[in-house]
Structure 1
C-alpha cells in the first residue's frame, strides 16, 4: 500500500513565508530556506513552495530563492506561482524544483498542461486548484489570481480535464476552509478523489491531528498539506506521522 504523504506548505510573499485566513490578512512567519530545512529534518515527505502574489503582480517566481531552498532540502520540492510558460518550467526545474504547480496560467491556457507534461513528464506537472463552494451549495467554483477572481468553472470538471491533458497530481485547496483550522473540506476532497485517478493533495483548514486522520480515512487523498499548524509549532511532522501510524494509516517514518 502506498504511504500517505505529509507536506508542509510555504506560502511566500516578497521573500518571506506568510500565512493568512481565507486567503487574506497575511502574517509574516519567517525565512523560507530555514523553514524548509526545519521541515526536512522533521521528516516531511515533500515541501510545497508557493509564490502567492507572483501571478497577481504579473512577475515570475523568485528563482534564486528556489535555488537556495533546493540546495538545503533533500526531499521533493514543488514550486508554484507566476509560472506561465515552458521556459518558466525549465528555469524552475533547473533551479532545483522536482515538480511545478500551475494554477491561473493553466486555467487561462490549458494547453500548457499538455505541453509541459509532454516535454518534462506528467510526474512534474501539478495542477493547483483553489475551490470555493457555490452560494447555492451545488458544487464548487474555481478561483484564480490568488483567490481574487471567480472563473465560474466547476472545480471537479476542471480537474478531470486537467487530468486528461496530462497533469500528474492535483493540489486541491478549499478556500472556505483555508487558514481556519476547522478541518479539511471532506466533501470537496472526496468529490475530487472520486472523479480522478491521479494523486490528490488535500489543502486548507487543518487544525488538529484528527483532521489528518479524517482526510485520509474518509477520502481518497494521497497527501495532506498544512501550514499554520507547523509554522506556529502547534504540531511537528513527527507528531502527525506517529499519530497516523498508531491508527494504521500507512506513513513513511
Structure 2
C-alpha cells in the first residue's frame, strides 16, 4: 500500500496503482482468497506509525485471515492491530533493529500472530555472493547477515517468516529457488515466499519441492497479459485442487 492506494512495484521501484484497497478486498472476498497480507510501504520510510483507521476498515471487510505490516514499533501498536480484527501483525525494520520486540509482542498477542518480513537482495559477485537484507522499503541495507539473523529468530521464536525477493519483485520470472533453499535449510519456522510468481506452475513447483506453509504472489493476481492490464484474479477451487494434488 502506497499513499493509501493499492500498488504493485517491480524490484521495489515504480509503484503502479492497481486500485482502492477496500474495493480490492471485496473482490478478493468473492474470489475466496486464502489469506491477505497488506504492507504499508510508506510507514517506516516516513517515520510514522500504522494507519489504524485503514486497518479497521480492512479488517471489517475481510472474510479471510488478514495480516498487516508497516510502521509497527511498539507492543501497544501490535495489540491494537490485533484488537481491530487482524489475525497477524508483520514487522520488518523494527524486528531487525530490536529483535527482542518480537518476544515482547509475542507475549502480548500470541507468538502465532507475529510475522517477520525480510526483504532480501542478491549480493554482487565481487561481494562474494549470498544475500543482503534491506530495510525501509529496500532503500537501505540492514547491516546484518541473513544466516545470523535467522539463527537469532530461531532462538527468539516467531509465528511466521516471510522472505521477499527484491530481485524478483514484480518481474513474474519465477521464484528465487536458491534463496528459498538457503532459508529453508536455516529454520523450521512456517515460511512464506514472495517475489517472482508468473504462473500457477511457479506456485505449484514451490509447494511440491519445499516444506513451506505459504506461497504468496502480487502481480500474478492483479495483472493480466503482456501489457499488465489491471485485473484482480485468483485461482478457483478446481485450479487450487490441481496445485495441491
TM over 0.5: yes
Maintained 8 Å contact 1:194/1:220: no
**Aligned counterpart, 1:186:** 177
1:40 aligns with 2:13: no
Alignment RMSD (CA, Å): 1.6
Maintained 8 Å contact 2:79/2:108: no
| Match of residue 115, structure 1, among 101, 104, 115 | 104
52-61 or 152-161: bigger deviation: 152-161
| Match of residue 200, structure 1, among 176, 188, 191 | 191
1:236 aligns with 2:195: no
- How far is the alpha carbon of 1:53 from its aligned partner? 0.9
Where 2:144 maps in the other structure, the secondary structure is: strand
**Aligned counterpart, 1:209:** 200
Q: Distance in 1 between matches of 2:218 and 2:78?
A: 25
Q: Distance in 2 between matches of 1:102 and 1:146?
A: 12
Q: Distance in 1 between matches of 2:57 and 2:67?
A: 14
**Aligned counterpart, 2:91:** 102
Q: What TM-score results when the alignment is normalised by the length of structure 1? A: 0.88
Maintained 8 Å contact 2:11/2:171: yes
- Pairs aligned (count): 237
1:246 aligns with 2:235: no
1:129 aligns with 2:118: yes
- How far is the alpha carbon of 1:124 from its aligned partner? 0.5
| Match of residue 158, structure 1, among 149, 170, 173 | 149
Post-superposition Cα deviations, 1:177-219, rounded to whole Å, max 9, x if no partner, equal 1110001111111221222111111101111111101111222
Q: What TM-score results when the alignment is normalised by the length of structure 2? A: 0.91
Which has the bigger relative contact order, CA under 8 A and spacing at least 6? Answer: 1
Maintained 8 Å contact 2:132/2:145: yes
Q: Distance in 2 between matches of 1:156 and 1:219?
A: 18
- How far is the alpha carbon of 1:244 from its aligned partner? 4.7
1:174 aligns with 2:165: yes
Q: Distance in 2 between matches of 1:45 and 1:157?
A: 32
Maintained 8 Å contact 2:222/2:233: no
Any gaps of 5 or more consecutive residues in structure 2? 226-231
Where 2:212 maps in the other structure, the secondary structure is: coil
183-192 or 172-181: bigger deviation: 183-192
Q: Distance in 2 between matches of 1:215 and 1:243?
A: 16
Any gaps of 5 or more consecutive residues in structure 1? 1-11
- How far is the alpha carbon of 1:233 from its aligned partner? 4.7
Q: Distance in 2 between matches of 1:57 and 1:190?
A: 34
97-106 or 133-142: bigger deviation: 133-142
| Match of residue 52, structure 1, among 38, 41, 58 | 41
Where 2:44 maps in the other structure, the secondary structure is: coil
Post-superposition Cα deviations, 1:16-50, rounded to whole Å, max 9, x if no partner, equal 00111000001111110111121122121110010
Maintained 8 Å contact 1:160/1:196: yes
